[in-house]
């Protein structure tokens, strides 16, 4: 089955810095890669996603890149703010009857 | 559309008891997945239901079971509760369209505490 590795497990940055979280996946048939943000005590919420026919997608300060050949994808957050502090999960999915496989999460801490 | 809802939001039980959690998916969504989340363990997949059938199952003991009704609402049951079952239980629903994979949308979770 699919295996998703996520790094780092903890990331500490200063406000205004950029943050990058990386994930690798094993199943070359995976074609959908969402990222979720989970604030303390709240549900995971989708913040951005990318499908395998696209190499990069941006939404304001957030971007995701996908390298299908190397089977890795990354989340980039620019100009970080304290409210970006949360746990971020990546996932890989191939659709149909297959459920997504989640990474173990990255705790992002943005210091004011 | 209303989001995924879960009831109850909080539960306190004692060892040996059983518990039933409920999840109502987004209208039109046919797949419901359940996850257990504990500190430092990420999202542990329990099972997925689609059209009232369990379609995928994670690596949890038989004490954890579930079902899905014809309106796509789902319940999960944990019998003979153990202290280690204390966790946040999240359900997620997705549309299951014909092309590609669908986004999972999470409910707020049920916080279960076993004393």
The structure tokens listed for B101 are 């994979």
Instruction: Give per-residue pLDDT as tens, B53-99.
Output: 999 899 999 999 999 999 999 999 999 999 999 999 999 999 875 55
CA distance A16 to chain B (A): 27
Instruction: Give per-residue pLDDT as tens, A24-57.
Output: 999 999 999 999 999 998 999 999 999 988 899 9
Using the predicted structure, report yes or no on whether residue B112 has a pLDDT greater than 60: yes
Chain B residue with CA closest to A9: the answer is B40
User: Around B90, how many Cα atoms within 13 Å sit in the side-chain half-sphere?
Assistant: 21
Mean pLDDT value of segment A88-105: 89
Using the predicted structure, report yes or no on whether residue A95 has a pLDDT greater than 90: no
- CB atoms A44 and B106 under 8 Å: yes
Among candidate residues A73, A92, A64, the one with its CA nearest the CA of residue A4: A92
Instruction: Give per-residue pLDDT as tens, B5-63.
Output: 999 999 999 999 999 999 999 999 999 999 999 987 789 999 999 999 999 899 999 99
Q: How far apart, in whole angstroms, are the C-alpha atoms of residue A44 and residue A35?
A: 9
The CA distances from residue B16 to B78, B79, B86, B105, in Å, are 10, 7, 13, 32
The pLDDT, as a whole number, for residue B100 is 62
Using the predicted structure, report yes or no on whether residue B110 has a pLDDT greater than 60: yes
- CB atoms B56 and A94 under 8 Å: no
């Amino acid at each position: 089955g699919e295996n998703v590795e996520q790094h780092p497990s903890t990331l500490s940055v200063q406000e205004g810095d950029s943050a990058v979280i990386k994930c690798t996946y094993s199943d070359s048939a995976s074609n959908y890669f969402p990222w979720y943000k989970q604030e303390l005590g709240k549900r995971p919420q989708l913040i951005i996603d990318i499908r395998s026919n696209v190499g990069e997608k941006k939404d304001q300060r957030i971007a995701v890149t996908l390298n299908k050949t190397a089977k890795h994808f990354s989340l980039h957050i620019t100009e970080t703010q304290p409210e970006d502090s949360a746990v971020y999960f990546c996932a890989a999915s191939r659709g149909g009857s297959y459920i997504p496989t989640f990474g173990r999460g990255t705790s992002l801490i943005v210091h004011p | 559309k209303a989001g995924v809802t879960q009831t109850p939001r909080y539960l306190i039980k004692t060892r040996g008891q059983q518990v039933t959690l409920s999840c109502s998916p987004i209208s039109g969504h046919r797949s419901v997945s359940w996850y257990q989340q504990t500190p430092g363990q990420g999202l542990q997949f329990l099972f997925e239901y689609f059209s009232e059938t369990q379609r995928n199952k994670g690596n949890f003991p038989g004490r954890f079971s579930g079902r899905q009704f014809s309106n796509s609402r789902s319940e999960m049951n944990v019998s003979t509760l153990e202290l280690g079952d204390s966790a946040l239980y999240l359900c997620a629903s997705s549309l299951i369209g014909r092309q590609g994979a669908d986004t999972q949308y999470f409910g707020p979770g049920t916080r279960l505490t076993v004393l």
